[in-house]
Amino acid sequence: MSIWDKFPNYDESELERLVRSAAEILADAGQGSRVPEDALEMSDRAAAEEIRADLSGVAPAATADQVRAALRDPEASRRISLAALDEIRKQPELAAAVEAAYQRQMRKLGGPELLLAAAPLLLLVLRIESFKWKDLQITFGSSSDAVKAAVAGVISGLTGRAGSGS
Amino acid sequence: MARAAQSRVADVRVGILAYFIGVDRLYCAFHDPTGREQMFPLGPCRETLPRIELLLEVIDGAYSPARRERVFEEFSRGWGRTLLPPPEALATADVLVVIPHSSLHGIPLHAVVYGAGEAPLAVTHGLTYAPSGTLFTRCVSRNAARRFDPVAWRFPRRGGDSAPPPPRSCRAAAVDVKFHATGEYEQVAHLFLDHFEEQQWCGAERIWIKPRRGTPGADVLCIVCHGHYDPEFPGRSGLLLARHPGIGAEITIPIHYGRPFLFRDLPFRFFPTEISVRPGCSPEILTVDELMVGASTGAQLIALIGCSTATGQTSSADDFHSLAHQFLKIGAASVLASLWTLDFDFAKSWAPRFLRQWCDLRLPKALAFRESIREELDENPRPVSEWAVPALLGDWL
């Protein structure tokens, strides 16, 4: 059974590994584009700054702190990750590459944990417009719009929740 | 097929590579098998140290897979050669004991492709790492294998030879706290266990394997599990184990007039929150810090089959903190451990080759390691990032 067959019903461990695998594949694919070379190593604060700039069209009032809070909140981070993964699974070749990377990760006896792996994945999905994968040209333009809308919704929900609680 | 020529342990030629990072350049003092010392100036610091830093970042898990592979390849087939004396000097030795300095700790010199044969050092030489000359001497002096006459010890062993029998007892444990591969991990642990007469199996869910001071231990200890490296606090790195039920083990300590008190031997840190664990598992972590307290072992070999079990950091006085090094400090003669992320399929394929060479053919550990890597690469060529992960530390015999 493919890991994509379970979408979106992943347990915490599966989601963490899938997000990490997707981020690593996109980081390699996106070299030379607008993706920072250290995308996988960025602190969540630096990633939030970058992501906020990309969200300015759909969520002009969102601050870097709000983006960061969304990426640190387990439920919000899960929704953001699933939105990004949803776009990836629509590209069969890319989905297969991510699945292969996921299976390779499963065969490692440990390995570095990507804290807040959602941040690099989100940044990569937003920044990579198109890339060549094997013999195919994969275009991500509309995908990033869908993900931006999803993230804006999550941030707005979090902000509303914080506001109603105060 | 022609039978391999036999050698005697007494005839194994052992050289020592002792490194020193100077103000302007790196140096390597090569003590050849006759005891003669030659000092080789290596690359300038301003070129070499940034390369080492990048390699260490990759070893710590930074960057994407393709970039990591590039960095490993550039080291293995390129600038890594600048860290070694000329091939003709090293050709005088069968076994090399590497004593690194400062940021050279943890650098996989055995991965460097070297000399006319274009083979990695791991295939041309037996190689072992020791964090310091002092600790290496201690590993040698405590190694039970050295009680056997090195003139009588011939290898590879044939029927009727006087090579010593393999160590007698083995304690093994295996658990996968993250996914559901405990059964597969147990198979690798049993590869070890099955080579020894006295077998102590720790089971999958009742693992608390800290070797206690004063209690008789096994000759060989094999643990197959996930490893965790904490770059911020290396002492909090450890083995991801499990225990059911509850946390910590009970120990009895005589306090007053022989009256015993029962204590919980609590772990030194809580299980890392960033690591997700499979449902139903009660994970615990055995850390480097914890091994510093109340632990000792007399094992001839400790095999830590997990990720990053030899990854660490240099502390004061050029001491090096890692799980593997801590096991050497508490008494192990030798440790097999991983310099970075270990691929399970590689471990499964390579471990039986090492055991055959060491236990069945009775090669010294460093030569058993060399032969096992040679066989593995002949049959299953792999990228450097996979095959160069394991390393032998401590005594080579």
Residue owning tokens 């700039």: A53
Which residues in chain A have Cβ-Cβ distances shorter than 8 Å to B344? 107-109
**B225/A13 Cβ within 8 A:** no
CB-CB: which of A40, A106, A110 is closest to B228?
Answer: A110
**A16/B240 Cβ within 8 A:** no
What is d(CA A60, CA A142) in angstroms, rounded to the nearest whole number? 19
Which residues in chain B have Cβ-Cβ distances shorter than 8 Å to A113? 272, 274-275
CA closest to A37 among chain B residues: B63
pLDDT of residue A165: 43
What is d(CA B305, CA B328) in angstroms, rounded to the nearest whole number? 16
Query: Hey, what are A66's tokens?
Result: 């709000």
Given a cut of 60, whether residue B317 has pLDDT beyond it is yes
Given a cut of 60, whether residue A127 has pLDDT beyond it is yes
pLDDT band at residue B249 under the 50/70/90 scheme: low
Which residues in chain A have Cβ-Cβ distances shorter than 8 Å to B224? 109
Helix (H, G, I), strand (E, B) or coil at B40: strand
CB pairs under 8 A between A and B: 71
**Torsion angles phi and psi, residue A6, rounded to 5:** -85, -10
pLDDT of residue B205: 54
Helix (H, G, I), strand (E, B) or coil at B310: coil
CA closest to A109 among chain B residues: B226
DSSP conformation letters of A64-105: HHHHHHHHHSHHHHHHHHHHHHHHHHTSHHHHHHHHHHHHHH
Say if residues B321 and B296 touch (Cβ distance below 8 Å). no
Question: Which element (helix H / strand E) includes B169?
Answer: strand B169-174
CB-CB: which of B61, B67, B279 is closest to A112?
Answer: B61
Touching B: A residues 23-82, CB under 8 Å: 24, 27-28, 31, 40-41
Residue % of chain B over a pLDDT of 70: 93
pLDDT of residue A140: 72
- Residue A35 gets which letter from DSSP? S
**A112/B179 Cβ within 8 A:** no
- Rounded mean pLDDT, B119-128: 97
Which residues in chain B have Cβ-Cβ distances shorter than 8 Å to A106? 179, 181
**B225/A113 Cβ within 8 A:** no
Which residues in chain A have Cβ-Cβ distances shorter than 8 Å to B347? 109
Query: Hey, what are A149's tokens?
Result: 């809308």
**A108/B178 Cβ within 8 A:** no
Q: CB-based contact (8 Å) between B265 and chain A?
A: no
Return the closest-CA partner of residue B26 out of B45, B13, B8. B45
pLDDT tens-digit series, residues A59-91: 888 899 999 999 888 899 999 999 999 999 998
Residue owning tokens 């902000």: A159
Longest dimension (CA), chain B: 69
Say if residues B289 and B269 touch (Cβ distance below 8 Å). yes
pLDDT, greater one: A97 or B17: B17
pLDDT of residue B263: 67
pTM of the model: 0.89
**A11/B224 Cβ within 8 A:** no
Weakest mean pLDDT among A34-38, B13-17, B92-96? A34-38
Which residues in chain B have Cβ-Cβ distances shorter than 8 Å to A111? 61, 307-308, 341
What is d(CA B218, CA B241) in angstroms, rounded to the nearest whole number? 19
Which residues in chain B have Cβ-Cβ distances shorter than 8 Å to A24? 64-65
pLDDT of residue B245: 47
pLDDT tens-digit series, residues B199-218: 988 865 555 567 777 777 89
Mean pLDDT of chain A: 84
pLDDT of residue B386: 94
pLDDT of residue A164: 52
Angle at B190 between CA B61 and CA B228, to 5 degrees: 20
**B343/A108 Cβ within 8 A:** yes
Rg of chain A, C-alpha, whole Å:
15
Say if residues B5 and B87 touch (Cβ distance below 8 Å). no
Indicate if ipTM > 0.85. no
DSSP H helices, chain A, are: 12-29, 44-54, 64-72, 74-89, 92-106, 118-127, 141-165
Q: CB-based contact (8 Å) between A13 and chain B?
A: yes
pLDDT band at residue B79 under the 50/70/90 scheme: very high
pLDDT of residue A166: 38
**B342/A112 Cβ within 8 A:** no
pLDDT band at residue B90 under the 50/70/90 scheme: very high
Helix (H, G, I), strand (E, B) or coil at A145: helix
CB atoms within 10 A of CB A114: 21
CB-CB: which of B64, B306, B307 is closest to A27?
Answer: B64
Q: Which residue in B56, B63, B64 has the most chain A C-beta atoms within 10 A of its own C-beta, making it the best mutation to test that interface?
A: B64
CB-CB: which of B63, B224, B341 is closest to A108?
Answer: B341
pLDDT, greater one: B16 or B255: B16
- Rounded mean pLDDT, B150-155: 92
Mean pLDDT of chain B: 90
pLDDT of residue A16: 85
